[in-house]
Amino acid sequence: MFNSNKFQSLLILLICFIVHSNISNAAVYYISNSGNDANNGLSPVYPVQSIDKLNSFINKLQPGDAVLFERGGYFQGQINLGVGGNENNPIVFGAYGTGKNPAISGSVPVKNWSLYKGNIFKAETDYDIKNLFFNGKQMTLARYPNTGFLTVKEPFNDATKGFKDDKLTQSPSYWKGSNVRIRTINWAYEYTPVKSFSNGSVFFQNPVYYPVQSGWGYYLDNNLNELDTLNEWYFEKNKKNGGTVYLIFPSGANPGNYVIEGSAFSYGFFSMSNIGNVIIKDIELRNQVEHGISFSGKKTGIKFNNCAFSGQMQFGICLLNNSENCEITNCRFTDINGKAIYLLEAEQSVVSENVFANIGMIPGYGVTKSAFGMSGIIALNCNSIIISRNSFYNTGHDAINCIGYKNTIEKNVISNSLLMLNDGAAIKSYGKNNTNSVWRNNFIFNVKGNLEGTPRGTQTVAMGAYLDEYCSNMNVINNTITGCGNSAINFYNETNNNFIKSNVCYGNQFGIFFYKGKNPMVNNYTSGNIFSGKI
């Protein structure tokens, strides 16, 4: 006779056995600088050594597997990930042992320096070097002028393709192959190689996004002839793989006494696959040519915890195209030339308890062809995002720019934003898709605005909380805002049905400012705010 209770019990035991078998079969791979790539890496006693070896088996990882890097280790290369875990058994990348968290580096040592001429040293390398670090400090690509800016006299008829400056009197082709770095608009620097040069005319290899304007600033770099100042460097590609690095060392420095590294690998972790349920924790990513993390494709349940990002030329973390339930928590982002975090089309994700310092702080660098090229957190077309309890110290443009609906920005401390660019804010949003979001309990101070490289008469446009055009049904509540170059809270052009309550704003040029623009603003409510003049 069939016994349903006994059958159900057996079925439950079978399911438990299968689940337990899956978990017990999970593998842990160990990677150590003292390892050997002939090992299988399945024991800390017999670890593998290199990222190349990891990449040879990484796409065979199964849900529940883990890859652990030895603490105190330094691993060069790019990790190419094509698989993920599942909701119950994520794939984990982490650390083992004692000491500092392991570092995944995009840079390689540059050694064996010899005198080239004068005070210029040189070294050979088998890598194409895109950035140079001296004891962890980014060096300056040989530039003209050494400081400050030249001025555009006249853009071409197609102002995205070049300009003329009669004060550039060098011989034809002198600047060919150099970079031109130009402030094209209040809120952006752009850069491109020089395709050709003659009679003061600079022809761009790639068109810029914002048309060049007369009177705006630029400089040129990446030219060996301009290598004439301490801390400047240049890379000459003179073989298939690699070339010669030139450097004028800091005053009194002996090449043998310092760590000199050149960025050569584009990414720390890279994926173009649809992946989910991956955890990356307790790892440092540094000096990548582009991004520390670059994930495109659909992503679900990607989590970063207790990681550090520094020295990237573009982004610390870049998550593109449909991310859901992702988390970035307890991480540190420092000395990144572009954006610390870039989220595109993310949903129901969290960015919390992170520290951001010195983001987008080199004029002319950052992300070209971007309105947000030197910023802390950029979240575009993102919905139900929580950005909370983060600390920001020194950002070139916006600290937070979040566009979408039902987003929450709360309990962040934002100090010294808009230090390299103009027309932005500590917290900003814009667009018709930006609605039903909450900004509350944030502390904002010192939003500066930078006019270097802009025409005379340009005015500072620096706000604390900026509801740019078309924002609607926003709630800006209980924020403290001080030290803004313009208004603490700013509305522009058809921002309607917003609610401003219980904010404390002091020491700003304006407490709250409504700027009509082309279209009127209606149904904006203020209640219980405190506005005080400059102190």
pLDDT score for 360: 99
Specify the DSSP class assigned to residue 256.
G
- Name the strand (E) or helix (H) holding 526: strand 525-527
Name the pTM for this structure.
Answer: 0.94
Long-range contacts of the stretch 98-101 (C-beta < 8 A, 24+): 98/71, 98/72, 99/71, 99/72, 100/71, 100/72, 100/284, 101/71, 101/282, 101/283, 101/284, 101/306, 101/307, 101/308
Phi (first) and psi of residue 8, to 5 degrees: -65, -40
pLDDT score for 107: 99
In the structure encoding, which two tokens stand for residue 106, read together?
A: 């995009």
Residues 6+ apart with CB under 8 A from 68: 28, 29, 30, 31, 93, 94, 95, 96
pLDDT score for 3: 54
In the structure encoding, which two tokens stand for residue 367, read together?
A: 């992300």
Specify the DSSP class assigned to residue 16.
H
| Measured CA angle at 453 (ends 450, 454), to 5 deg | 80
pLDDT score for 517: 79
Q: Are 37 and 81 in contact (CB under 8 A)?
A: no
Q: Are 104 and 75 in contact (CB under 8 A)?
A: yes
Specify the DSSP class assigned to residue 249.
P
pLDDT score for 533: 74
What gap in Å lies between CA 157 and CA 159, rounded to an integer?
A: 6
pLDDT score for 420: 99
Residues 6+ apart with CB under 8 A from 20: none
pLDDT per residue as tens, the chain (535 positions) = 445 554 454 444 344 444 444 445 899 999 999 999 999 999 999 999 999 999 999 999 999 999 999 999 999 999 999 999 999 999 999 999 999 999 999 999 999 999 999 999 999 999 999 999 999 999 999 999 999 999 999 999 999 999 999 999 999 999 999 999 999 999 999 999 999 999 999 999 999 999 999 999 999 999 999 999 999 999 999 999 999 999 999 887 778 789 999 999 999 999 999 999 999 999 999 999 999 999 999 999 999 999 999 999 999 999 998 899 999 999 999 999 999 999 999 999 999 999 999 999 999 999 999 999 999 999 999 999 999 999 999 999 999 999 999 999 999 999 999 999 999 999 999 999 899 999 999 999 999 999 999 999 999 999 999 999 999 999 999 999 999 999 999 999 999 999 999 999 999 999 999 988 788 899 999 999 999 976 4
Strand partners, 341: 317, 377
